Chain A
Amino acid sequence: MPKRRRLEPGSPWVEFSTTAADWKNADPALLGTMLSQLHLIRAFEETVLELAGEGLVHGPAHSSIGQEGGAVGSIVGLRSSDAINGSHRGHHQFLAKAINHVTGGTIDPKSVVDTEVQTVLQRTLAEILGLAQGYCRGRGGSMHLQWFEAGALGTNAIVGGGVPLGAGNAWSQKHAGTSDITVSYFGDGATNIGSVLETMNLTSAWKLPLAFFIENNLYAVSTHVSEATGEPRLSARALGFNIPSWRVDGMDPLAVHLAMKEAEKTMRKGGGPAVIEAEVYRFFHQNGPYPGSAFGYRTKEEEAEWRARDPLDRVAREMTTLGLIDADGVASVRSQAQQAMQLAVAELIEADPDQAGKRRIKPDLWPNTDFVNVGVRGDGSELADTRILEPTTFTGETESVKFVDAVAGVMDHRMADDDRIIILGEDVHRLNGGTNGATKGLAKKFEGRVLGTPISENAFAGLGGGMALDGRFRPVVEFMYPDFLWVAADQVFNQIGKARHMFGGSNPVPLVLRTKVAMGSGYGSQHLMDPAGIFATSPGWRIVAPSCPADYVGLMNTALALQDPVLVIEHVDLYQDMGDVPSGDLDYYIPLGKAALRREGSDATVISYLSMVKHSLEAIEQVGIDADLIDLRWLDRASIDWDTIGESIKKTNNVLITEQGARGTSYGGWLADEIQRRYFDWLDQPVQRVTGGEASPSISRVLERAAIARTEEVVAGLELVIAGRGGRR
């Protein structure tokens, strides 16, 4: 019979509750502050539900009524420089953090609302109503509340989506040498999603000060936690990742506070993350002013039991017992909170002159509709002082370098120059520069700044996003293959790409994402996409695709200087190519939005990028057509060089867009659409395109070749263009 030995988890897991002594020992000012905050949040949420009932809140309003204890108990002791983020149900956390920030962490129950608290209440309500004076200028609404100065990083409508970003913030706090922490709030539903579990693993591996705060309210909408998991004690998730874990009664704000203080102690001294599970209960349904029992997924009796544990009553009762407040005092706190909300409402809402008995939002408070696209990305003004050099017209001394050495070379140079640059990715720190040598020599030279990640693209991409939002560091994230963007899609597109715009348009997200197209390498259907098309049709991202070493240097420098997320696409076919670069110069910048004309002609405009530039050049020479060849360099819709494209099309009237990858996710579709609308009257034939096939390239050498485009396919495309212009070359 095999021998058995019981194994223990590496970190403790405790259940935590208060005793009468804890209440007695608690600072009366802390209790008074908690009581005041609880009432402010409750009155706020009641107001939101009232306005929602009148149809004045556009979209869902996820009420936190009943759950205030978790947020207030955990946040009341935090610093302003500590940070929080949260989920779709986040009003209570946001208010607690914002109020804590403006009050310095203490409120006298006799005088709950000062001007600054009043402003917080009004601006938060304005944001939820979608009004210009909101914290995110009305863009974020109920589910995207952000106020950086107060340490509120932004709430998130994707379940678990904010957690990797929180990890990035925690990374920056730690590596900036502070003892600050980040708390990421999420519900029971999110404990089953990859972002959260991947981030638990990553923060534990890297000992990051991130608190995973689970508000376990037992229901993911209507699905009970015991239906959704075999381990409904959700704090047990921590054990698999060697993270210390607390399970606490969230209806007891003091218990939450004390648990948080214990967790903070570990985190602030570099012990890594913590998990806190607070059992809470939302008194209403997922959203709106009706209880869950009205929808039949729980009973009125269950609701009555939880209501009896209302955190507002609990604190009032304990304080009364301790003689810290009386019934009138409690009533006064509630009344002060309600009055503050009436005042806030009066600033935003008025009687509707057209409908008797109805109210409406004051019309002049809406955002201007011309604000709709403002701040999708920055304006590029941060590049104003960069040293421009255009390699195509450079006449000084040059040297021949290998493409992949230019990749590592320029990064080496920038990292030496700029301590903020941090590289993250799979195997980037080993194998003598990652799988292709693109980070050669960097790990040794810049210790602690080249981070080999676990295989969890969603977590480490999001961690990079959190670093970018924080701004103290410049993350350079590598995806070993572009197809992994799908694995990390939430962080790449929902979070990093949208963050700046969604939270009001002014908080930048400077991040560089590097990846390599590997068509031709035999890696098959799930590794061989060209990501340009997907990124080009997603908001927020800028894209560069260098075709030669000299461009790579200048474009990477510009990408690192930009305050936007920039995708830098490389190609395995180019890595071993030699190219001339300005001798000894790694400090030049290629301006935003400048394409390169690789060949001049009069009969057709061939538009290409990356490795297809050289295939296009070969094809043009073979066919003998007199064509312009535009190497786009910048691919996204904000950075594309319409001047060069337009001038060429007006000259040639015939356009061929050449790219290598599968047609479905291809890049040229949006470009062809834009060209035909901008230059319809200049076209002599439809915009022609060269792409790969419908299928993703297979592993079989012949099938892979048949699935992608190279010189031969461009030749065929050029023949089509020639036929289209009447058969003359």
Chain B
Amino acid sequence: MATILRMPEVLANATAAVVSAWIVDEGSTFSVGDTLAEVETEKALVDLPAEQDGILGRILAKPGDTTAVGAPIAVLIAQGETEADIDAVLGGAAASEPGPIAEPGPIAEPVVAEPARVAAPIASESRRLFVSPIARIRARDNGVDLETIRGTGPGGRIVRVDVEAAIATRTPEPAPAAAPATVSSASPSPNGGYTAIPHTGMRKAIARRLTESKSTVPHFYLTTECRVDELLALRARANESSSVKISVNDLVIKAVAAAFTDVPEANVTWTDTHLRRWDAVDIGVAVATDGGLLTPVVRGVEALTLTQVAATVAELVGRARAGRLRQDELEGGSFSVTNLGMYGTTEFSAIINPPQSGILAVGAAKPQPVVIDGQLAVATVMRCTLSVDHRAVDGALAARWLAAFTTRIENPLSILI
């Protein structure tokens, strides 16, 4: 019998998603496990598998449409069923199905792709968004989507500062067109020509999460200088015999894991009620993609060999750039590594990726004068800056961890053992 396929809640607390492509065409048959469509969330592109055999009777959500979680995106039919069966199931959708069906999820507003074909809005529970009056008006006047904002007022209420932060961090909207005469007669305005690039879901998510991090997580920073001549030599030797290419970053990831083994009390994350001290070392690896920054997580790094780390990272980076990461691969972890050394950046500090409690910003390894035993010498030095969530980790502990990390990097054989 005809069934309605609804937009799944791909990401926890997601309210909407986009069908980026239908893999199965309208009218085509499919088998259980076949990918029916690709669904894009803020963070990932996921395949929507068929749960049984059938025919894709009618597509309701066109590619590119934003659809509320829980809203119908297609009607699946069995052999022999007709348009009439499709209409019947759609017509009865609201009346005969009390409450949330399929994958009930919080729905901000019923966004139905094809209202003409749907008799009534889907019965659904609205997630109440608490917003102060002035915040609501500022958001409306500035085109800020309140759904993308985390409230910092009492009970999670979105207050004015939250909206102002969202306004401040986004790409400027195209200004109202100035009178052409002004443009031509005056010298080029400092705010002159630009192209307005609409936000992608990922862009919005990056903005929201990093704003939230920077405005709610009390960051502090520690910088270390590591002499990496030995590490670079070791890497060169390892690459001679390894099937996978090992990068400096892979070594850094292993050193991070080893440092957490040395200082396990630093492997913690903050929650409002308690600290979580993690058993394993799961490390996010920052990956620059065309769409923006992604941070897939490598699990249990302390138990992986260097080659396994290198292979895993390479595989994750590849899929990240192809936009084919699964949502669960983007979640969790207590710490991240970000590396701009390949661009020649010597030193930078990074924003923590919540709910993690730290991130290590790795700069370029460059030869520079150093003093060894009172003698001036040249060594290759890599600067690393640790950003720490002070709620979870105090300065002394962070310093101990960073010292452990530095020791591991400067004694690279210890990373491998």
Contact = CB atoms under 8 A, between A and B. Distances in A.
A663 B151 CA distance: 31
What 5 A-B pairs have minimum CB-CB distances, sorted nearest first?
A: A726-B152, A684-B132, A726-B161, A726-B159, A684-B160
Interface string B291-307: 00000000000000000
B315 to A, nearest CB: 41
A725 B132 CA distance: 9
Interface string B105-144: 0000000000000000000000000001111010000000
A725 B158 CA distance: 9
Contacts of B154: 685, 723-724
Contacts, number: 42
Interface in B150-190: 151-154, 157, 159-162
A682 B161 contact: no
A682 B157 CA distance: 15
A102 interface: no
Interface in A706-726: 723-726
A682 B154 CA distance: 18
A725 B161 contact: yes
Nearest to B151: A726
A689 to B, nearest CB: 15
A725 B134 CA distance: 11
B137 A684 contact: no
Given A684-B160, A723-B154, 20 more contacts: A653-B132, A681-B133, A681-B137, A682-B134, A683-B133, A684-B132, A684-B133, A684-B134, A684-B135, A684-B159, A685-B153, A685-B154, A685-B157, A685-B159, A724-B154, A725-B153, A725-B159, A725-B161, A726-B151, A726-B162
A728 B163 CA distance: 13
A725 B133 CA distance: 12
A456 B22 CA distance: 90
Interface string B22-65: 00000000000000000000000000000000000000000000
Interface of A: 653, 680-685, 723-728
10 contacts: A680-B133, A682-B134, A683-B134, A684-B159, A685-B153, A685-B157, A685-B159, A723-B154, A725-B160, A726-B153
Most chain B Cβ neighbours within 10 Å, of A680, A681, A684, A685: A684
Contacts of A682: 133-134
Contacts of A684: 132-135, 153, 159-160
Nearest to B153: A726
A609 to B, nearest CB: 25
A724 B134 CA distance: 13
B155 to A, nearest CB: 10
A728 B161 contact: yes
Contacts of B152: 726-727
Interface residues of B, number: 14
Contacts of B157: 685
Nearest to A682: B134
Contact of B134 (A681, A723, A728): A681
A180 B389 CA distance: 87
A728 B159 CA distance: 11
A683 B161 contact: no
A653 B153 contact: no
Nearest to A720: B154
Most chain A Cβ neighbours within 10 Å, of B137, B152, B160, B162: B160
A82 to B, nearest CB: 61
B134 A653 contact: yes
Contacts of A683: 132-134
Contacts of B162: 726
Interface string B66-98: 000000000000000000000000000000000
B159 A724 contact: yes
B31 to A, nearest CB: 51
Contacts of A723: 153-154
A727 B157 CA distance: 12
A685 B132 contact: yes
A724 B158 CA distance: 10
A681 B140 CA distance: 12
A681 B137 CA distance: 7
A128 to B, nearest CB: 49
A684 B154 CA distance: 11
B217 to A, nearest CB: 12
Contacts of A728: 161
Most chain B Cβ neighbours within 10 Å, of A681, A725, A727: A725
Nearest to A727: B152
B156 to A, nearest CB: 10
B162 to A, nearest CB: 6
A76 B209 CA distance: 90
Contacts of B160: 653, 684, 725-726
Most chain A Cβ neighbours within 10 Å, of B137, B154, B157: B154
Contacts of B134: 653, 681-684
Contacts of B159: 684-685, 724-726
B168 to A, nearest CB: 13
A73 to B, nearest CB: 68
Contacts of A653: 132, 134, 160
Contacts of A724: 153-154, 159
A686 to B, nearest CB: 9
Nearest to B136: A681
A726 to B, nearest CB: 4
B153 to A, nearest CB: 5
Nearest to B162: A726
A680 B133 CA distance: 6
A655 to B, nearest CB: 11
A688 to B, nearest CB: 11
A26 B91 CA distance: 102
A725 B135 CA distance: 10
Most chain A Cβ neighbours within 10 Å, of B133, B134, B154, B157: B134
A727 B165 CA distance: 14
Contacts of A725: 153, 159-161
A628 to B, nearest CB: 16
Nearest to A685: B132
A726 B135 CA distance: 11
Contacts of B133: 680-684
A682 B159 CA distance: 11
Contacts of B132: 653, 683-685
A680 B135 CA distance: 11
Contacts of A727: 152
A345 to B, nearest CB: 57
Contacts of A726: 151-153, 159-162
A701 to B, nearest CB: 35
A684 B161 CA distance: 9
A726 B164 CA distance: 12
A679 to B, nearest CB: 9
A682 B135 CA distance: 8
Contacts of B135: 684
A680 B137 CA distance: 11
Contacts of B153: 684-685, 723-726
A680 B162 CA distance: 18
A727 B151 CA distance: 11
A618 to B, nearest CB: 26
A648 to B, nearest CB: 13
A725 B160 CA distance: 7
A728 B152 CA distance: 10
A27 to B, nearest CB: 77
A135 B153 CA distance: 58
A581 B151 CA distance: 48
A726 B216 CA distance: 9
Nearest to B131: A684
Contacts of A685: 132, 153-154, 157, 159
Nearest to A726: B152
B12 to A, nearest CB: 23
A726 B137 CA distance: 17
Contacts of B151: 726
Most chain B Cβ neighbours within 10 Å, of A653, A682, A726: A726
A340 to B, nearest CB: 63
B190 to A, nearest CB: 27
